Amino acid sequence: MTETIDQIEKAHSPGFVDRLRYRSRREFLSTLTLTAGASSLFAQSQTRPPIVYPPQYSDKVMEPVNVREFQEVAKRNLDFKTYNYIAGGSEDEWTLRANVEAYQRVWLRPRVMMDVSTIDTSSELLGHKLEFPILLDPTTKSRIVKDGDRVAAVGAHECGAIYCVSNPLSWIDDLYQAEKAPVWWGSTLGHSTKSSARGWARRNEDAGATALAVTIDHPYSPNRDRVIRYNWTQTNGNTFIWSKYQGGVLSPTRPSLTWQHIDWLRSASDLPLVVKGVLTAEDATLAVENGVQAIIVSNHGGRALDGAVPTLMALPEIVDAVDRRIPVLIDGGIRRGTDILKALALGANAVLIGRAYVWGLAAFGQVGVQRVVEMLRAELVVAMGLAGMPNLASINRNLARLPWE
């Protein structure tokens, strides 16, 4: 680079540019590039696509350069117990760590000479155009940050990400009034009766949900050692409620859930039905047979059954079993654009992020959510460019090398 600059300076001086007029080398260079547009010497650089910058925010928001650094800012902002509630998983946290480590164990086999002058991350999911394949997981944020669910929803709207809502409350209506509602999916841990399932489906459809997602991996409250040890107490809808976690208590969430639940929802709503928490080919096959319209490969971010297979490792068998009949999504451990690229290479249609955007929310509120999504999106674009993948259709299994295959 230095050599080129020096050559250019030499070739055009004296009189072409007076470098002393420019405050910095960067300013000099950008002016030179503009001025040089007319010269045949620069004909080749004219055909170069423009540099694409993600949206910019204040210096403070732009300071963390990756999701892990957002986590550090969030850690400083949050009280110790709440930080550990978010960061932690269940029991020995094998699955929590393995979700992240699985991405470190898969290597990319980049292609070269592929003409990646334009990078297109768009696709289609359940009838909705996705500009980029990153959705936001349900994460009950009002327990973490005041009005967290609503604040993150506005962030999702601003950056154009689909948002899973655990408890749609009156704030969804307010967001529609203010034209700040994101495209959103209703999310539930399931219901114990047909009438409550149907009521929930109708409420969500009426409120504007575009799909209904049932989390099916949480029949009982898991042992979360950090939560038990630090005696974290829950708040609900910003109101403090006392609910002490204890270890080894068989505390039911929705233990009676079966595939019949899908029929219950379908009898009340025409919205696409999604299940979150599939980890095996057997259950993926059953999901398709029971008329589910999309699967999320998930282990609840390592917060449910400890020892459950990391999601990236589970993905290939599920993709094979589903055989393109319905979209397969994945979450758990995604912290980088290259992680997303690996998941797409192994057959995911899109990914969801959980903690990544919760760190953004806890660090800087709404713009923190936006910045994390936009940062991951930008990282994905760069990764696709470097891997020789101009669009999502070009990404396939040959891009990934698996250590366990």
Ligand X SMILES: Cc1cc2nc3c(=O)[nH]c(=O)nc-3n(C[C@H](O)[C@H](O)[C@H](O)COP(=O)(O)O)c2cc1C
What positions carry a catalytic annotation?
300
Min. distance of Cβ 149 from ligand X in angstroms?
Answer: 10
Structure tokens at 43: 């004909």
Sole window of 69-77, 116-124, 329-337, 390-398 interacting with ligand X (rule: CB under 6 A): 329-337
Structure tokens at 123: 């696709």
Q: Which amino acid is residue 82, in one-letter code?
A: T
Q: Which residues contact 15 (CB under 8 A, 6 or more apart)?
A: none
Min. distance of Cβ 78 from ligand X in angstroms?
Answer: 11
Sole window of 58-66, 154-162, 252-260, 330-338 interacting with ligand X (rule: CB under 6 A): 330-338
Q: What is the rounded distance in angstroms from the CA atom of residue 127 to the CA atom of residue 274?
A: 13
Among residues 99, 142, 293, 349, the one that binds ligand X under rule CB under 6 A = 99
Among residues 334, 363, 372, 384, the one that binds ligand X under rule CB under 6 A = 334
Does position 137 bind ligand X by CB under 6 A?
Answer: yes
Q: Is the dihedral of CA 260, 265, 271, 275 positive or negative?
A: negative
Residues 197-256 that bind ligand X (CB under 6 A): 215
Sole window of 3-11, 61-69, 101-109, 296-304 interacting with ligand X (rule: CB under 6 A): 296-304
Q: Which residues contact 340 (CB under 8 A, 6 or more apart)?
A: 133, 134, 334, 351, 376, 379, 380, 383
> Which one, 133 or 332, has the nearer CB to ligand X?
332
Q: What is the rounded distance in angstroms from the CA atom of residue 386 to the CA atom of residue 312?
A: 22
Does position 84 bind ligand X by CB under 6 A?
Answer: no
> Which one, 314 or 358, has the nearer CB to ligand X?
358
Does position 86 bind ligand X by CB under 6 A?
Answer: yes
Among residues 350, 353, 367, 400, the one that binds ligand X under rule CB under 6 A = 353
Spell out where 193-288 has E strands. 211-215, 235-236, 239-240, 273-278
184-355-331-97 Cα dihedral, nearest 10 degrees? -170
Structure tokens at 304: 């449910």
Among residues 191, 224, 276, 371, the one that binds ligand X under rule CB under 6 A = 276
Q: How many CB atoms lie within 10 A of CB 42?
A: 15
Among residues 31, 140, 223, 394, the one that binds ligand X under rule CB under 6 A = 140
Does position 166 bind ligand X by CB under 6 A?
Answer: yes
Query: Which H/E stretch holds residue 130?
Result: strand 128-130
Does position 298 bind ligand X by CB under 6 A?
Answer: yes
Among residues 355, 381, 387, 395, the one that binds ligand X under rule CB under 6 A = 355
Q: Are 190 and 214 in contact (CB under 8 A)?
A: yes
> Which one, 9 or 91, has the nearer CB to ligand X?
91
Interface positions with ligand X (CB under 6 A): 86, 99, 137-140, 166, 187, 215, 276, 298, 300-301, 303, 331-334, 353-356, 358
